[in-house]
Amino acid sequence: MFNLNGKKVFVTGSARGIGKAIADSCVKAGATVLYHGATESEKLINAAQAANSPFVAGNLSDPQDVERLIENVRKILGHVDVLILNGSVQTYTGVENFSVEEFNRQMQTNVASCFQLIKAFAPDMEAQKWGRIIAISSINQLRPADRLGIYSTTKAALANLMLSSAKKYAANGITVNTVLPGVIETDRNAEILSNKDFADNLRNIIPAKRFGSPEDCSGIAVFLASDAASYLTGAEIPVAGGMQL
Active site positions, annotated: 151
Sign of the alpha-carbon torsion through 25, 45, 78, 65: positive
183 neighbors 202 (Cβ within 8 angstroms) = yes
Distance in angstroms (rounded) separating the CA atoms of residues 232 and 229: 5
At 146, give phi and psi (nearest 5°): -65, -25
9 neighbors 32 (Cβ within 8 angstroms) = yes
55 neighbors 45 (Cβ within 8 angstroms) = yes
Distance in angstroms (rounded) separating the CA atoms of residues 17 and 188: 8
Distance in angstroms (rounded) separating the CA atoms of residues 163 and 228: 20
